[in-house]
Amino acid sequence: MWMLLCMRFWYAIDREHTWQRRFIAIGAGVGGGLIYLIGTMMLEMLKESAPPESPDGTEIRVSAPAVVEPQKTKQ
């Protein structure tokens, strides 16, 4: 989307203004690269990590605590 937006501005600028067109093209490339890098870093952060290994190789299991429902009182 970023590159398409920059391409739209690039076509809108007159051919006589070559430096403006070059800056828009450079901005499109740098911006697209930064969006790609930030996206890949965010995806790596969102991935689920593996549970830690115990040092002596024993298996550790964790169970959810039992939920006790409150007793209803007679009125």
d(CA 67, CA 64): 9
d(CA 23, CA 13): 11
Residue 24 and residue 13 in contact, taking contact as beta carbons nearer than 8 Å: yes
Specify if 71 maps to a domain.
no
pTM assigned to the model: 0.53
Specify if 67 maps to a domain.
no
**74 in helix, strand or coil?**
coil
d(CA 64, CA 41): 33
Q: Residue 36's pLDDT is what?
A: 92
Specify if 61 maps to a domain.
no
Residues found in the chain: 75
Number of domains in the chain: 1
Which of the pair, 28 or 51, is modelled with greater confidence? 28
Segment 56-67 shows an average pLDDT of 75
Specify if 33 maps to a domain.
yes
Among all chains, which residue has been given the structure tokens 């605590």? 65
Specify if 69 maps to a domain.
no
